[in-house]
């Protein structure tokens, strides 16, 4: 960007700042890297005064240092931001802090990804059907670089108290996390938010995965959430496992325990299937029915009712 299009005397281009869209940062230059095709954006802050974080005295400028971070993709192209970070020098002779770099919410010190890129990737993993590898490719970074930043952001979000605010319906079910090992060793307990949103539909939001499948595991999780959270839960859905039911009875006394829709349909289908098999055995006297596709060349026979069937795979009535 050789010429500013915002009029004479303008320090920054308002149009470029509007595209970059981060408060307190202004675009100095935009270019394209011919080597890897990434978009390179050079920015600076609008801070003219800095205070020493050690003693609080007003510091003076001591040059700049370029901090390179990966930002969210722009027009389908990975973006590399060159932040011309100010270096400040404390003028207090007795202060142990001689020089320090300016800080900004755009990127933490020594970060390889901007805060906006980390939030974008975490939101995509939470809401969209994507993977870390796909997001790392869009950002133009290594898998480990992205995952380290996303894992830290995910932990911060999990610890935020507002994440559990307004929940009045919970669901719990087991999940096979690792199919290898001893039976039951790879099970985890999944807790889901079933609170209905403004549109009347359940959120179906995964809250946590806890290692193990037992009543004490679920009871411990509910106890750690606090009395205020447990008092707000009015409906507790579960699968037909007595351990989860005991945990609900012990910690969610005011909640109504209900079976989730999946297991209601499953149990109903099993009951109908058992009745069908029992009636089949009572009326036909046989324990199974074999159904097999017959090729046109195979021979067929005719039963007592004039229906054709295969001569192979037909159950026989016990003598």
| Predicted pLDDT at 170 | 93
Per-residue model confidence (pLDDT) at position 12: 84
SS (H, E, C) 295-312: CCCCCEEECCCCCEEECC
Contact (Cβ atoms closer than 8 angstroms) between residue 98 and residue 92: no
- 225 contacts 164 by C-beta, under 8 angstroms: yes
Mode of pairing for the β-strands spanning 256-259 and 300-302 = unpaired
Q: Confidence class of residue 128 from pLDDT cuts 50, 70 and 90?
A: confident
- Nearest C-alpha neighbor of 171 from the set 225, 220, 238: 238
- What's the gap between Cα 273 and its chain centre? 38
The angle at the Cα of 44, spanning 42 to 47, to the nearest 5 degrees, equals: 180
pLDDT at position 197 is: 87
What residue segments make up the domains of the chain, in order of their start? 1-106, 112-159, 163-262
With H, G, I as helix, E, B as strand and everything else as coil, classify residue 30. strand
Of 44-53, 166-175, 211-220, 300-309, the range with the lowest mean pLDDT is: 300-309
pLDDT(175) > 80: yes
CB atoms within 10 A of CB 281: 12
Residue 195 is predicted with a pLDDT of 92
Bridge pairing between strands 256-259 and 235-238? parallel
Tokens representing residue 25 in the block: 């940062």
Give the predicted TM-score (pTM) of the model: 0.67
Confidence of residue 316 (pLDDT cuts 50, 70, 90): very low
Tokens of 262: 């999946």
Could you tell me if 297 and 285 are in contact, meaning their C-beta atoms sit under 8 angstroms apart?
no
Which positions ≥6 away from 10 have C-beta within 8 Å?
4
Give 50-99 pLDDT, tens digit per residue: 888 888 888 888 888 999 999 999 988 999 999 999 988 888 888 888 88
Task: Quickly list H helices, the chain.
Answer: 14-20, 115-127, 132-139, 143-159, 215-225, 227-232, 242-251, 261-284
Q: Which two tokens stand for residue 138?
A: 């869009």
Q: Is the pLDDT assigned to residue 232 strictly greater than 60?
A: yes
Identify the CA nearest to 85 among candidates 42, 119, 125: 42
pLDDT of 42 higher than 90: yes
Contacts of 37-41 spanning 24+ positions with Cβ under 8 A: 37/77, 37/78, 38/77, 38/78, 38/79, 38/80, 38/140, 39/74, 39/75, 39/77, 39/78, 39/79, 39/80, 40/79, 40/80, 40/82, 41/71, 41/79, 41/80, 41/81, 41/82
Tokens standing for residue 269: 């289908």
Other beta carbons within 10 Å of 72: 18
Top-level class of domain 163-262: alpha beta
Mean pLDDT calculated for residue range 269-276: 93
């Amino acid at each position: 960007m050789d010429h500013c299009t915002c009029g004479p005397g303008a320090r920054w281009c308002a149009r470029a700042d509007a595209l970059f869209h981060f408060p307190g940062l202004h675009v100095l230059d935009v270019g394209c890297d011919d080597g890897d095709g990434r978009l390179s954006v050079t920015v600076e802050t609008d801070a003219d005064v800095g205070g020493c974080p050690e003693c609080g005295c007003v510091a003076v400028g001591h040059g700049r240092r370029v901090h390179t971070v990966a930002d969210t993709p722009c027009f389908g192209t990975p973006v590399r931001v060159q932040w011309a970070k100010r270096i400040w020098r404390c003028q207090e002779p007795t202060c142990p802090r001689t020089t320090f770099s300016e800080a900004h919410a755009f990127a933490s010190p020594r970060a390889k990804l901007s805060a906006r890129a980390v939030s974008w990737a975490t939101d995509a993993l939470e809401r969209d059907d994507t993977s870390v590898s796909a997001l790392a490719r869009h950002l133009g970074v290594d898998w480990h670089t992205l995952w380290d930043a996303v894992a830290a952001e995910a932990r911060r979000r999990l610890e935020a108290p507002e994440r559990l605010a307004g929940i009045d319906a919970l669901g719990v079910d087991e999940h096979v996390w690792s199919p290898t090992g001893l039976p039951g060793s790879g099970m985890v307990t999944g807790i889901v938010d079933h609170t209905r949103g403004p549109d009347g539909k359940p959120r179906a939001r995964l809250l946590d995965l806890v290692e193990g499948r037992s009543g004490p595991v679920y009871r411990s999780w509910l106890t750690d959430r606090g009395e205020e959270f447990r008092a707000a839960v009015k409906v507790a859905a579960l699968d037909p496992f007595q351990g989860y039911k005991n945990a609900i009875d012990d910690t969610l006394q005011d909640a109504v325990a209900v079976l989730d829709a999946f297991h209601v349909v499953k149990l109903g289908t099993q009951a109908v299937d058992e009745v069908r098999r029992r009636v089949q055995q009572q009326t036909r006297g046989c324990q199974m029915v074999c159904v097999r596709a017959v090729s046109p060349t195979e021979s067929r026979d005719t039963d007592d009712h004039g229906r054709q069937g295969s001569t192979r795979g037909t159950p026989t009535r016990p003598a």
